[in-house]
Amino acid sequence: MMLRLQIPSPPPPKPPITQTTLKTLLSATTTTTDSGARFRQKLLYLRHLNVNPTKVLHINPNIRSAPLSTLHSIAECLSSMGLEFAAVGRILDMYPQLLTADPYDDIYPILDFLLHTVELPFSEIRKSITRCPRILVCHPESQLKPTFDFLSEFGFAGPNKLTSQTTLLLVSNVESTLMPKIEFLVNLGIEYNEVRSMVLRSPGLLTFSVENNYMPKVDYFFNEMNGDLEEIKRFPQYFSFSLERKIKPRHRLLREHGFFMPLSEMLKISDGEFNLRLIEKRLHIVGEFL
């Protein structure tokens, strides 16, 4: 006799949590005495935010004892800065410690710093935080201000002052992160004032790793490309291009055909434009022999 296994049907998908449901959850925190029920309410809210509960509980166990209203207030705080719902959830998933933060003690001082010390327009706050959410977990006085003072003195002031594109530099430690990069460029033989000019033109230079970016690219530039340091000064954006995906393939093609292009011409153009210029150079040489 053949036994038939009964495969249970999959459970129906859980409905999305609506604003009405959220209000019900929040009001329930004041009436529910069952700690298990309150905990489930918080898990539902995390699901609504697209935040991983397992990750949250591992990184921020304080969430177990925090009321649901605390989670809701921090989400509302971030939303008030212009952040979209999806961005709020993404940030809270990246930094679960924010879920139990106090907006007035932990978040608004950072907002105040960006508005009144960095002098970032409020309309740019959202872009700044989206670009670098880590700024929300940095202390304004002990972490952000020393870096801001250094960057201001270095040249990020006046027409070159920090913008929503460059405030990510504020989360860097001066001694362990920023200075080693500046010193590396100076040790190449570039004057300090020239390094400052390069950085102000290309602020990304202060975000690249010395070991993983500067060293291999400098090695390839001098030993394989026989490059001139002056060209690095003229085009510091060289360090922003992928060594394996762009610099090496394009340089090797030029070398194979005996051609030369300045760094800016070799790297800034698209693949299609690069190939077109390569063909034009080859046709030009053929034409000279006809």
Nearest-angstrom CA–CA distance, 146 and 149: 5
CB burial of 46-65 (b: ≥16 within 10 Å; e: otherwise) equals bebbebeeeebbeebeebee
Chain segment 206-259, per-residue pLDDT in tens: 999 999 999 999 999 999 999 999 999 999 999 999 999 999 999 999 999 889
Q: Is the pTM of this model over 0.75?
A: yes
> For position 35, what pLDDT does the model report?
76
Asked if residue 114 lies in contact with residue 167, where contact means CB atoms within 8 angstroms, the answer is yes
Q: In this predicted model, what pLDDT tens digit does every residue of 40-62 receive, in sequence order?
A: 999 999 999 999 999 999 999 99
Query: Mean of the per-residue pLDDT values for the chain?
Result: 88
Query: Could you tell me if 174 and 146 are in contact, meaning their C-beta atoms sit under 8 angstroms apart?
Result: yes
What is d(CA 107, CA 95) in angstroms, rounded to the nearest whole number?
A: 13
What is the predicted pLDDT for the residue at 287? Answer: 58
> Cβ–Cβ contacts within 10 Å for residue 201, how many?
12
